[in-house]
C-alpha cells in the first residue's frame, strides 16, 4: 500500500471514530434528559398520584398549605414512602425557597417524601446552580410546577437594601447574595409603600421571570404547556402562602 493510501485510510478511520464518539455522546445526552433513548426503558412512576397537570399541581400545593394553616396536616406514612422511592422520584412540584430557618416548604405544603423538589438559598434567587437544578427536575423528573417562594421580613433582602444604601460591603461571601438580589431592590426602590415588602415581592417576580425564560429547557416546557412557574409570599405570622398575580 502506498504512503498516500495509508494516510487516507488512517484519516478515514479517525473520522469514523470521531463520528461514533459524537453519536454516543449525543445519545447519552438525550437519555440523560428523558429523551427517546430513555423512553424505551421508562418505568412506572414511584408515586402515580404525583403525575399531574401544572394547574392540578398548583391546586394540590395550595390545598396542602390550607391544611397546614388550619392545623389539620395529614399523617404521612414515611415507611412506605421510603420503600416506594428507593428506585426513583417524581415530585409534583419544585420550590425555590429562602434558607430562612422559619420557612419549611415540606411542612408549609403538608407534603410527603418525594412530593417536593426543594432548592433553598438565602434570598430565594435563581443562580446558575439553581437554574440547573430546576432544569433537572423538569426535564428528567417531569415536574410540572415551580414555585418561587419569598417571605416577609426576609433578612437577605433587608441586608441588601442596607448594604446598597450605606454603600458598605458585607463580610465574607455575603456580597454574592447582595449582588444577586440588588437588581430587584433597585427596581423596587421607585415603588410607593414599604421598601422591604416591595423589594421582597419584586425579587420573587424577577426570579419567576428568570426561570420562565431560562433556555433551552425551562422556556420550552413553559411554551409547550408542560410547566407553570409561579411566585408566592410566605407569611410568617400565619403560615399562609399568598400567590402573586404575575403578568
pLDDT tens digit sequence for 219-245: 999 999 999 999 999 999 999 999 998
**Quick one: DSSP state of residue 50?**
G
Task: For residue range 157-195, list pLDDT tens digits in order.
Answer: 999 999 999 998 899 999 999 999 999 999 999 999 999
Question: From CA 53, how far away is CA 227, in angstroms rounded?
Answer: 8
Mean pLDDT for 77-101 is: 91
Q: Which three cell numbers stand for residue 25?
A: 455522546
What's the whole-model pTM score?
Answer: 0.83
| Residue with cell string 458598605 | 168
Query: Could you tell me which residues come within 8 angstroms of residue 208 by beta carbon, excluding any fewer than 6 positions away?
Result: 148, 229, 230, 231, 244, 246
Question: From CA 241, how far away is CA 66, in angstroms rounded?
Answer: 9
Amino acid at each position: 500500500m502506498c504512503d498516500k493510501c495509508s494516510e487516507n485510510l488512517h484519516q478515514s478511520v479517525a473520522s469514523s471514530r470521531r463520528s461514533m464518539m459524537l453519536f454516543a455522546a449525543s445519545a447519552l445526552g438525550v437519555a440523560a434528559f428523558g429523551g427517546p433513548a430513555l423512553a424505551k426503558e421508562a418505568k412506572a412512576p414511584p408515586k402515580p398520584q404525583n403525575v399531574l397537570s401544572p394547574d392540578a399541581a398548583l391546586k394540590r400545593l395550595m390545598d396542602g398549605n390550607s391544611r397546614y394553616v388550619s392545623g389539620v396536616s395529614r399523617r404521612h406514612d414515611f415507611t412506605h414512602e421510603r420503600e416506594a422511592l428507593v428506585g426513583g422520584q417524581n415530585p409534583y412540584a419544585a420550590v425555590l425557597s429562602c434558607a430562612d430557618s422559619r420557612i419549611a416548604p415540606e411542612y408549609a405544603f403538608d407534603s410527603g417524601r418525594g412530593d417536593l423538589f426543594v432548592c433553598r438559598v438565602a434570598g430565594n434567587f435563581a443562580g446558575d446552580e439553581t437554574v440547573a437544578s430546576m432544569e433537572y427536575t423538569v426535564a428528567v423528573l417531569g415536574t410540572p410546577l415551580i414555585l418561587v417562594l419569598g417571605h416577609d421580613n426576609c433578612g437577605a433582602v433587608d441586608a441588601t437594601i442596607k448594604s446598597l444604601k450605606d454603600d458598605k460591603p458585607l463580610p465574607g461571601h455575603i456580597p454574592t447574595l447582595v449582588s444577586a438580589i440588588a437588581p430587584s431592590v433597585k427596581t423596587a426602590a421607585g415603588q410607593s409603600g414599604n421598601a422591604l415588602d416591595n423589594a421582597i415581592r419584586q425579587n420573587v417576580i424577577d426570579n419567576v421571570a428568570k426561570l420562565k425564560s431560562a433556555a433551552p429547557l425551562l422556556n420550552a416546557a413553559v411554551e409547550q404547556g408542560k410547566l407553570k412557574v409561579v411566585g408566592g409570599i410566605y407569611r410568617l405570622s400565619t403560615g399562609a402562602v399568598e400567590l402573586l398575580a404575575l403578568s
